[in-house]
Amino acid sequence: MDSLSFLTLMVVLLGLMGRCMSGPTPRLSFLTGSSGRRLTFFSSHEVSNTTTLLLSEDEETLYVGACNAVFALDVGSEDVITLRKKLDWSPSDKDLEQCSMKGKKKADCHNFIRVLQFLNSTHLYTCGTFAFSPHCTYIHLDTLKMDPSTEEGRGRCPYDPYQRNTAIVVDGELYTATMADYRGNRPVISRHLSESSRVDMKLDDALGWLEDPTFISSIFIPHDEKIYFFFREVGREYNFIDKFIVSRVSQICTSDVGGQRTLQRRWTTFAKAQLLCQAGTELPYNVIQDIVILPPAEGDPADETVFYGIFTSQWAVNSGRSAVCSFSLTDIKSVFSGNYKVLNRETLQWSTWVQEKIANPGECGLHNASDNVLRFVKENFLAEDSVRPHGRRLTMETSRHAYSRLKVQRVQAANRKHYTVLFLLTEAGFLHKAVLLQPGVHIIEEVQVFEATQLIKSLELSISKGQLYIGTSEGVLRVPTSNCSYYWTCAQCVLSRDPFCGWDPVTRICTEVTGSQSTLIQDIDGGNVEDSCNSLSSTHITRFGPSKRPSASCPAGELVSVSLNEVVRLHCPAASQLSQQLWERPNSRISADLYLQLEDGSLSFVATPTTLGHYLCLSTENHYRQTMAIYQVKQKSSTGSQTPPSYTRTWARPTTQASTRPGTHTSGTRNWPKDTESRQVETKPSLSIRNSHVTTPQLSRNRTLWTAGSGLRGAMFPDGEPVLSAPCPRFLKELVIVSVLLVICLSLLVTMTLYAVRQRCQSRTAPQTRTLTRDTDSRTSEDQEALRGNQIFNKRSCQAQNGDRAAGLVCNGSLLEYRQNLPNTPL
């Protein structure tokens, strides 16, 4: 491989790695059981596999199609979901036995409700799998009792409970898309319950109009009198790839009654086109998972209708990724009014060569057309062009989450501007609420709705009640669409960028936006706290919070007692998952060679005289700063006892502080509760959930908590030292004392060294005192004189050599350096 090819490959791999890390991050995260997000759950030992949800017109009753039963739930109360009525609809023992004899599992042989539609103002039309033998029936709304007689459900409901289907009732007629045989090999789009002179309709099975499809959804467009079916299937036009999946949109006209001779009782208005969820030249997200409709705003034309869908990819490079694409009704209609591909019946190959267009496939009213026209639309039903996403870009793309279901709502903000909000369910059991903005998608929050991963088959939205209903294998869960009361200050309310919520300057609470509240403070597009909240009158709002709540501009502080050379770790909770933690020291600098900031935002360092002092942890989000924690690190006293086990500290919410730039106001805050004295094991801090438990690092008995009453200025530590006003360490006096002591030590060292050398010389040159013997007494006077002469010579020799200090002292042939050091004595 040459260098150019290798470089190209590396660029591609880096690009793919960059894409794998893409995706918006939820600002807040609420785990199951969190008091910061109120959820209501209905469950019963008789309820399982709630596969279908249907909300009444007044949105007070939720009809649930479950396993072997249909329920009517009262959802009018905000606090509880109660059971109104229940209808048991179970297969008999004989039906279950026959299902088992066909080789099916006993768990799959129950009656799973797959069609639940309002037929009229008095009845429901319901179909179930009924032990792999579909049945349909009529149910009275008032009594929730079904008619004694049932109908065969073939072509209206799937046999297999795991096969997806879609159904919709228009003017008392049922339009379905499902599998019409036991093996699941005969897909069909059909109409049933036709009234008056109209006949039931279906696709011509021999034409190959559908290729192993999976049906997703069906949507009725009243002003066009058309029903759009969304599904995915094998794209036979891409014959160079085996089983290449494509997403489709097809249409039929509700006025279609089939041809007179050609296409009798068959659709004459059926046409389909490819939905292409693709950005530029990248690989497309070709597998549709769910799609919903967003009607136009009031007063806008009907063609402003938009469809939002979730797509995944069959390509390995996009494995685990999800994308959201939007398609306009105008683009769909434009594709269906264009050219169509031609199917060669002999080779079953599609071609795009242009032939004379004698009719427009998909156009309503073709049932009265000639046989020649009907033969043309019979062979030309695949549009040549693909429906591309609105704006030719992806609405959302992420590798962090795999989405499965969605709902969409248009919300009018306080400034009368409309925003699109998506509610997305992940396969991991989280609900994401996201708002679409010009720069991109902002995920306001994520709520964990299930601890264990489970397949979600139904999701319903009540716009008037502001509630989401999720059908699970265990029951029904209700989630409010807004959570305004969680944001306790103007700053937090603005930073959330939630179109549902706005800050009321009169009541000083974050409240839900209504049509009459145009004075609420919001900044959905920018989330600018200073420009939004600083506009409040400082005469009656000194902080961006209500005066009835505890007001403190700084959080509770901690006095940390440590020993020198001990490793200290200071924790800093994050205000949100989009914030960044920043540590500061008054009148000092936090350098990388002394401090280490960990991934969780905590600060670690070694306790030295230089690192003792005050520390502030600030959380910065969108140019807005909040003080999250304040510490004073002090050296332990000599009488300190051993370090006890750590204990847990409970935080209600992080206290906020406005940006420290001149001219800014301080935001309203809520004090953190006093620390509990029950000792617990330390856990990872998390402030993404209101009233969650956040733990501090291990504390010694000398480590005390303190509270900054009304700000940093004037607050005192327990030992009487003011917060952040303690004098900076001054080492000039100590430096002078140490220097003087060092000079004295060096002088003493030199003196002692010289003295020791002198004593050594004298001891070696002085006459030796010993006991005289007979030998010494017998020495002659000449010998004694010679001895005295040698002593004088040696003494003079030592004195002469001692004069050369540079060469050192030489006594008795030994060199003695005068610059010797005592052991463990610093130079």
Average pLDDT over residues 118-122: 95
Residues 6+ apart with CB under 8 A from 55: 61, 62, 63, 460, 462, 469
Distance (Å, whole) CA 53 – CA 738: 82
Residues 6+ apart with CB under 8 A from 346: none
On whether the CB atoms of residues 95 and 73 are closer than 8 A, the answer is no
Region(s) of the chain under CATH 2.130.10.10: 163-399
pTM: 0.75
Looking at the DSSP bridge assignments, the partners of residue 409 are 421
The DSSP-derived string for 274-314 is EE-B--TTSPPB-EEEEEEEEPPPTTS-GGG-EEEEEEE-S
190 φ, ψ (degrees, to nearest 5):
-140, 165
Average pLDDT over residues 796-811: 36
Judged by DSSP in three states, 810 sits in strand
Number of H helices, E strands in the chain: 9, 43
The DSSP-derived string for 402-440 is -EEEEEEEEEE-TTS-EEEEEEEEETTSEEEEEEE-SS-
Region(s) of the chain under CATH 2.60.40.10: 552-729
Distance (Å, whole) CA 70 – CA 56: 14
Distance (Å, whole) CA 14 – CA 6: 12
**DSSP designation for 803:** T
Q: How confident is the model at residue 732 (pLDDT cuts 50, 70, 90)?
A: low
Average pLDDT over residues 334-351: 84
Query: What is the model's pLDDT at position 762?
Result: 62
Residue 743 has pLDDT above 60, yes or no: yes
Residue 580 has pLDDT above 80, yes or no: yes
Strand ranges across the sheet with 201-202: 166-170, 173-179, 187-192, 201-202
Query: What is the model's pLDDT at position 664?
Result: 37
Query: What is the model's pLDDT at position 735?
Result: 77
Residue 21 has pLDDT above 90, yes or no: no
Query: What is the model's pLDDT at position 128?
Result: 97
Q: Give percent of the chain with pLDDT exceeding 70.
A: 74
pLDDT tens by residue, 506-554: 999 999 998 766 789 999 999 999 989 986 644 334 343 333 333 334 6
How is residue 65 written in tokens?
A: 């199609």
Query: What is the model's pLDDT at position 164?
Result: 95
On whether the CB atoms of residues 499 and 482 are closer than 8 A, the answer is no
Burial 353-366 (b: 16+ CB within 10 A, else e): eeeeeebbbbbbeb
Q: Which of 100-104, 440-444, 526-530, 707-711 has the lowest mean pLDDT?
A: 707-711
Q: Which of 48-52, 294-298, 348-352 has the lowest mean pLDDT?
A: 348-352
Residue 767 has pLDDT above 90, yes or no: no
Mean pLDDT of the chain: 79
Residues 6+ apart with CB under 8 A from 436: 395, 396, 419, 420, 421, 422
The more confident residue out of 667 and 144 is 144
**DSSP designation for 619:** E
| CATH class label, 163-399 | mainly beta
pLDDT tens by residue, 223-267: 999 999 999 999 988 877 778 999 999 999 999 999 988 899 999
Query: What is the model's pLDDT at position 423?
Result: 98
Question: Which residue type, as a one-letter code, is found at position 241?
Answer: I
Distance (Å, whole) CA 303 – CA 306: 8
Question: Which residue type, as a one-letter code, is found at position 213?
Answer: P
Residue 709 has pLDDT above 50, yes or no: no
Distance (Å, whole) CA 113 – CA 61: 18
Query: What is the model's pLDDT at position 163?
Result: 94
Least Cα distance to 579 among 511, 491, 461, 683 occurs for: 491
pLDDT tens by residue, 433-487: 999 999 999 999 999 998 877 777 789 999 999 999 999 888 899 999 999 999 9
pLDDT tens by residue, 381-395: 999 999 999 988 999
Residue 715 has pLDDT above 50, yes or no: no
Query: What is the model's pLDDT at position 535?
Result: 67
Q: Which of 90-104, 227-241, 272-286, 718-732 has the lowest mean pLDDT?
A: 718-732
**DSSP designation for 3:** H
Residues composing the chain = 827
Least Cα distance to 531 among 486, 507, 582, 495 occurs for: 495
Query: What is the model's pLDDT at position 320?
Result: 84
Average pLDDT over residues 586-604: 91
Strand 28-30 with 441-448, pairing: parallel
Query: What is the model's pLDDT at position 236?
Result: 85
**DSSP designation for 383:** B
Q: Give percent of the chain with pLDDT exceeding 90.
A: 53
Burial 273-297 (b: 16+ CB within 10 A, else e): bbbbbbeeeeebbbbbbbbbebeee
Domain 552-729 has CATH 2.60.40.10: yes
Distance (Å, whole) CA 600 – CA 463: 38
Average pLDDT over residues 617-629: 92
